[in-house]
């Protein structure tokens, strides 16, 4: 399927229809809980204030990511819950969702660096988008992770 056949949508939680929310949560649970065999609290309270980036093929959700704004205690924007539907892998949708997520973070929070918590085996993938490892490896839900950061698009003077 051509890249032009995909639609990118950025929404707050209240803008998602019940069906859209269900599809997003189902995809995340199918991949992170079932496929990766990782019991963790998917409903972590962070979706409420986040922006949800979705890639659609027709009406079908094929990839998504969560964007969180900088907080008082941490001036970085955050990208998380990056997921591609198993039936749509191999189509470079991981690249597409990351390019879109970074673009949105830079548009909305240009003076903020961008952080993410990466499964360690994906650190090279995220490094290809300018992220660098900024922590030692640690276990999160029994999966090795590292924290990664990308510099702000605009530096304040």
Question: What is the pTM assigned to this prediction?
Answer: 0.92
Quote the Cα angle for 10-42-125, to 5°. 65
For residue range 42-89, what is the model confidence (pLDDT) as tens digits?
889 999 999 999 999 999 999 999 999 998 888 999 999 999 999 999
The span from the CA of 8 to the CA of 121, in Å, is 26
For residue range 128-152, what is the model confidence (pLDDT) as tens digits?
999 999 999 999 888 899 999 999 9
């Amino acid at each position: 399927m051509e890249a032009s056949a995909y639609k990118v949508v950025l929404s707050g939680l209240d803008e998602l229809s019940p069906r859209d929310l269900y599809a997003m949560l189902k995809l995340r649970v199918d991949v992170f809980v079932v496929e990766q065999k990782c019991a963790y609290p998917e409903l972590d309270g962070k979706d409420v204030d986040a922006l949800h980036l979705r890639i659609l093929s027709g009406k079908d959700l094929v990839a998504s990511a969560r964007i969180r704004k900088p907080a008082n205690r941490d001036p970085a924007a955050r990208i998380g819950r990056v997921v591609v539907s198993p039936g749509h892998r191999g189509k470079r949708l991981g690249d597409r969702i990351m390019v879109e997520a970074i673009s949105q973070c830079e548009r909305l929070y240009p003076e903020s660096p961008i952080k993410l918590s990466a499964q360690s085996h994906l650190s090279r993938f995220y490094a290809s988008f300018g992220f660098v490892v900024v922590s030692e490896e640690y276990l999160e839900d029994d999966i090795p992770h590292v924290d990664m950061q990308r510099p702000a698009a605009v530096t304040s003077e």
